[in-house]
Copies of this chain bind each other. A is one copy, B any other.
Amino acid sequence: MENNKKIWGDAFERIVEASAELFAENAFHSVGVREIANKANVNISMISYYFGGKAGILIEILNRFFDMQFSTLKNSIVETDSKEESIKRLFRNIVDMIRTHTNICLIGFSDLPNNVPEVYELKVNKTHQMMEIGNQISTRFCIDFCKDELTHILGPAMMSMLISHFTHKNFISQIYKIEFDNNYYDTYSNTLAELFLYGITGFSTEKNQ
């Protein structure tokens, strides 16, 4: 895939980038090929030319998302880490990933064009792989509580928890006047990591001291 992109023109990448922005803002089916072509400054027919159709763009984006997610999770495994540092590093890395690739992540988590068979199958397969990696990480993290049968609960729960802020960000910023800077996301990542580690009980005692 990396090779293809260099053989093909910039248009390929511009289409992916423009689509990612548009798909993240609104749902896949509500974005038209002409809107994409305009934003990417390419002719409409380039979409079918490069991606075989509109759905092909989404598949490209989803593949990038899952690759990114996999490597982020795997890179978060550091053998010498304590359990606490494991979780904190993991949460920090995931938040970093979402911040630097917000659009792709929002699409990967929330876009649900299940009526496109290719997309649906890809999601099933990748979810399966995610569960396996989740199991690996659980044991490597020495999270002994996390039996196989619980991975499918806690895995999605953890990821959804972390992404939730970014899906609500637009609404929240219209209500509160918060600056979403590095400091904010340090706190954000740490807060959720501590919640995940110790719950609101441990969290409250720690903060009150």
Residues in chain A within 8 A of chain B (CB atoms): 25-30, 83, 87, 110-115, 123-124, 127-128, 131, 143-146, 149-150, 152-154, 156-157, 159-161, 163-165, 167-168, 170-172, 174-176, 178, 188, 191-192, 194-204, 207-208
Contact = CB atoms under 8 A, between A and B. Distances in A.
A128 B170 CA distance: 12
A196 B167 CA distance: 21
Contacts of A161: 157, 160-161, 164
Majority secondary structure, A binding face: helix
Contacts of A196: 195, 199-200
Given A26-B112, A144-B208, 18 more contacts: A27-B112, A124-B175, A127-B172, A128-B171, A143-B204, A144-B204, A145-B203, A150-B191, A153-B192, A154-B191, A154-B200, A156-B168, A157-B161, A157-B192, A160-B161, A196-B200, A197-B199, A198-B202
Taken together, the copies of this chain in the complex come to 2
Contacts of A204: 143-145
Contacts of A111: 27
A14 to B, nearest CB: 22
Contacts of A30: 27-29, 113, 115
